[in-house]
A and B are shown apart, each in its own frame.
Chain A
Amino acid sequence: MRHPSQPPEVPGAGDDIQDLIPVASSASGSVAWSSSKGGEGGGGGGGGDSGGSFTALLGLPTSQAMELLLPAAAPTFPADPQLVDRAARFSAFASPSPSSPSPNLPPPPGSSAAAAAKRKVDPADRASKGKSSKKGKTAAASGEDKDGGGDGEDDKPAYVHVRARRGQATDSHSLAERARREKINARMELLKDLVPGCSKVSGTALVLDEIINHVQSLQRQVEYLSMRLAAVNPRVDFGGLDNFLTTEVTWPDMGVNGARHLVQLQQHFWHGDLAHPLQPPSQWEKRADPHAPVFSNSSSSLFGYDLASSGAQPQTGKLKMEL
């Protein structure tokens, strides 16, 4: 209702905070979502909420909230990657020790927004804990109490606390429904961040479309790559262990492009930047594709031959050049 231009503002925040964009956009997205879903909710209500809690931010217009969030996030950037990393880990994986992260989560973020943000979560739903701590709904009293006002600084009860917004029904059914809906929306946000090209699309059905396409393409990729892997090692017993953990190739043999691509591939795998999508490696694959069958053919025929035979030379020469 307020700021339809909200999402485009976030990428303009700069590339340094790109790691935090899931964080920030989730925060802003949650504000936008909840406002659009909750009707007049926290936006028009404004001063209904008291105190320096995060819900006060919800009372503000979203632009001010973003201003508060982003500069608050940027100075604490060195601390935040751990938080982001942990949050990402929580959101993506069920952590083995549920209790230990929660005491650790409050101290690192120095900003008041994150510090005030706590949400009590069902232990079974601890996967959403990292996300919701950023969205920062303060815990209110459960159920009927509307303006609890208190910050939730307590330990882990077994149920979810959600602050009721103004002008909304406060019976337990609708609250539980809203809590459920917000959990599901949080998941959708995470999935949108994960699947490339989903942030523009709005609406559940289209996002699900994209997710399904992405899953199918990933599965197809895995199948194709396993075929390639099986083709590359024709008769060898798939090699020794350590050899394939690091590159032991000598770079002058390969030429500049191949070396660059291989290094990029490796870096992308271990340090997973989302900033650089996998465009170049696919080119590498496309170029290497005609090589692989040639290579495997030649190698299978060459095992019995002398490597220095003239029959081998033209092919390896061609490989060397095109690499």
Chain B
Amino acid sequence: MHAPRRFKRDFMERLLLSLQVAGLTSKSMGLRERRDAVRVSSDVAMASARGRGAPWARALVARHAAKRRNEALLRRIMGGGGYERAAAAAAGRKEVRSRKIVTRSHRLCSSRRKRRSLAMAAASGAMVARTMVKGRLRLLRRLVPGADALHGFSLLSETLDYVVCLKTQAAAARLQTCMRCVRGVNEKL
């Protein structure tokens, strides 16, 4: 109910396309390399089906583009222009990282302040709850791609989006595996 049909259909089509491309590109026999190729193609399919509107999509593709090994595959799937955009996004993440350092230093200062205040006063319930929530938000930022600099509301929106798409990605992959399994068995029989 949550993911729109258009997205599912788009994603499925792109997944099949990119899987085919991946099969053509990677002549390597190793299971791990094939698994990585499948992973990359599936992620790129999901991100491109989602469109440019979501920051996690760009960040996901940029994460794959940053590794040299995926370059050939990505070029074939997304075309040269798409790959250039992804590479530019991957390079742009360096700036974001410096901002992360600044925010982290801020956080350290504030935590030092809080520790001092904690030493003086007993930790109130609200303070404990807030620390817990902040810790979990930090984890969430690490999990969701491209959500590093987001706060509060936008972080939750990103997570929502990302979870919906992850669900469809897992369901599509499961469908593909089972159908190919069955098909292969049928061909054998």
**A associates with B:** yes
A184-B156, A203-B129, A320-B185 known; A225 and B1 CB under 8 Å?
no
In Å, the complex CA distance between A195 and B140 comes to: 14
Within 8 A of A (CB), among B126-185: 129, 132-133, 136-137, 139-140, 143-144, 152-153, 156-157, 159-164, 166-185
In Å, the complex CA distance between A154 and B162 comes to: 33
Q: Does B67 contact A (CB under 8 A)?
A: no
Q: B139–A272 contact, CB under 8 A?
A: no
Within 8 A of B (CB), among A277-323: 278, 281, 284-285, 288, 291-292, 295, 298-299, 302, 307, 312, 316, 319-320, 323
Q: Does B63 contact A (CB under 8 A)?
A: no
Q: A248–B181 contact, CB under 8 A?
A: no
In Å, the complex CA distance between A205 and B139 comes to: 12
Within 8 A of B (CB), among A112-152: 125, 127
In Å, the complex CA distance between A258 and B185 comes to: 12
In Å, the complex CA distance between A249 and B182 comes to: 7
Within 8 A of B (CB), among A225-280: 225-233, 235-241, 243-245, 247-250, 253-254, 258, 261-262, 265-266, 268-270, 272-274, 278
Point out the residues of chain A lying under 8 angstroms from B177, CB to CB.
225, 228-229, 232, 285
Q: A187–B160 contact, CB under 8 A?
A: yes
- Nearest B residue to A241 via CB reads B16
A216-B143, A265-B178, A295-B181 known; A230 and B35 CB under 8 Å?
yes
Q: How many A-B residue pairs have CB under 8 A?
A: 221
Question: In the assembled complex, how far is the CB of residue A318 from the closest CB belonging to chain B, in whole angstroms?
Answer: 11
A89-B4, A184-B153, A230-B31 known; A94 and B180 CB under 8 Å?
no
Q: A268–B171 contact, CB under 8 A?
A: yes
A218-B167, A226-B38 known; A238 and B22 CB under 8 Å?
yes
Point out the residues of chain B lying under 8 angstroms from A184, CB to CB.
152-153, 156
Q: Which interface class (under 10, 10 to 19, 20 to 34, 35 or more) fits B?
A: 35 or more
In Å, the complex CA distance between A249 and B184 comes to: 10
Q: A320–B159 contact, CB under 8 A?
A: no
Contact of B143 among A212, A225, A284, A319 (CB under 8 A): A212
In Å, the complex CA distance between A244 and B162 comes to: 25
Point out the residues of chain A lying under 8 angstroms from B169, CB to CB.
218, 222
Q: B188–A212 contact, CB under 8 A?
A: no
Q: A226–B1 contact, CB under 8 A?
A: no
Q: B184–A299 contact, CB under 8 A?
A: yes
Q: A194–B143 contact, CB under 8 A?
A: no
Q: B31–A231 contact, CB under 8 A?
A: yes
Q: B183–A243 contact, CB under 8 A?
A: yes
Q: Does B12 contact A (CB under 8 A)?
A: yes
- Nearest A residue to B164 via CB reads A92
Q: B129–A226 contact, CB under 8 A?
A: no
- Nearest A residue to B46 via CB reads A222
Point out the residues of chain B lying under 8 angstroms from A230, CB to CB.
31, 34-35, 37-38
Contact of B173 among A191, A205, A226 (CB under 8 A): A226
Q: Does A159 contact B (CB under 8 A)?
A: no
Q: A226–B35 contact, CB under 8 A?
A: yes
Q: Does A40 contact B (CB under 8 A)?
A: no
Q: Does A104 contact B (CB under 8 A)?
A: no
Looking at B5, B164, B181, B182, which has the most chain A CB atoms within 10 Å of its CB? B181
Point out the residues of chain B lying under 8 angstroms from A94, CB to CB.
53-54
Point out the residues of chain A lying under 8 angstroms from B161, CB to CB.
92-93
Question: In the assembled complex, how far is the CB of residue A317 from the closest CB belonging to chain B, in whole angstroms?
Answer: 9
In Å, the complex CA distance between A60 and B60 comes to: 47
In Å, the complex CA distance between A145 and B140 comes to: 38
Q: Does B39 contact A (CB under 8 A)?
A: yes
Q: Does A88 contact B (CB under 8 A)?
A: yes
- Nearest B residue to A19 via CB reads B1
Point out the residues of chain B lying under 8 angstroms from A227, CB to CB.
31, 35, 38
Residues of B within 8 A of A (CB): 1-5, 7-8, 12, 16-17, 19-20, 22-24, 29, 31, 34-35, 37-39, 42, 53-54, 129, 132-133, 136-137, 139-140, 143-144, 152-153, 156-157, 159-164, 166-186, 188-189
Known A221-B174, A316-B185; further 11 A-B contacts with Cβ < 8 A: A92-B4, A93-B7, A184-B152, A187-B160, A191-B159, A212-B139, A225-B170, A226-B39, A244-B183, A254-B182, A320-B189
Would you mind naming 11 contact pairs between A and B with Cβ atoms under 8 Å apart? A208-B133, A208-B140, A214-B163, A215-B163, A226-B173, A227-B35, A231-B34, A232-B184, A237-B20, A272-B3, A320-B189
